[in-house]
Amino acid sequence: MARQLSDGFPLKRRDSEVQLLFTPAGPQQQANGFVHRLTSAADDWTISVGESFIALETSAYKGHEDFITRLRGALDALNETAKIPVVTRIGYRYTNRIVGADDLARLSERFAPSVLGGVGDAPAGSTLVHSITESVYRLDGAALLVRSAQVGANESIDPTLAPVQEKSWILDLDAYDESRNVFTVDSVCERVNNLSAIASGQFHALTTEEFTKRYA
The pLDDT assigned to 21 comes to 61
Residue 139: strand, helix, or coil: strand
The pLDDT assigned to 51 comes to 86
Tell me whether strands 142-151 and 45-49 are parallel, antiparallel or unpaired. unpaired
Per-position DSSP letters for 59-107, written without gaps between them: SS---HHHHHHHHHHHHHHHHHHS---EE--EEEEEEEEEESHHHHHTH
Strand-pairing partners, residue 188, are none
The pLDDT assigned to 158 comes to 86
50 and 80 inside one domain: yes
Look at residues 84, 110, 127 and tell me which one is the last residue of a structural domain: 84
Give the span between the Cα atoms of 172 and 208, in whole angstroms.
Answer: 17
The torsion of the CA quartet 94, 98, 103, 108, rounded to 10 degrees, works out to 50
165 and 206 inside one domain: yes
Look at residues 58, 84, 110 and tell me which one is the last residue of a structural domain: 84
The pLDDT assigned to 203 comes to 96
66 and 96 inside one domain: no
Nearest to 185 by CA among 84, 88, 91: 84
> H-type helices in 85-184, by residue range?
101-105, 107-110
pLDDT digits (tens, 9 = 90+) for 86-144: 999 999 999 999 999 999 999 999 999 999 988 877 788 788 888 999 999 999 889 99
The pLDDT assigned to 99 comes to 96
**Low-confidence spans in the chain with pLDDT less than 50:** none
For the entire predicted model, the pTM comes to 0.87
C-alpha distances out from residue 164 to 108, 153, 167, 174, Å: 22, 6, 8, 21
Give me the domain span that covers residue 76. 11-84
Burial class of residue 116, CB neighbours in 10 A (0-12, 13-18, 19+): buried
The full 3-state SS of 19-59, as one line of letters, equals EEEEECCEEEEEEEEEEEEEECCCCCEEEEECCCCEEEEEC
133 and 208 inside one domain: yes
**Count of all residues that appear for the chain in the document:** 216
User: Which helix H or strand E contains 214, and what residues bound it?
Assistant: helix 209-215
76 and 133 inside one domain: no
Look at residues 55, 84, 113 and tell me which one is the last residue of a structural domain: 84
Question: Does residue 171 contact residue 206 with C-beta atoms inside 8 Å?
Answer: yes
75 and 95 inside one domain: no
The pLDDT assigned to 125 comes to 79
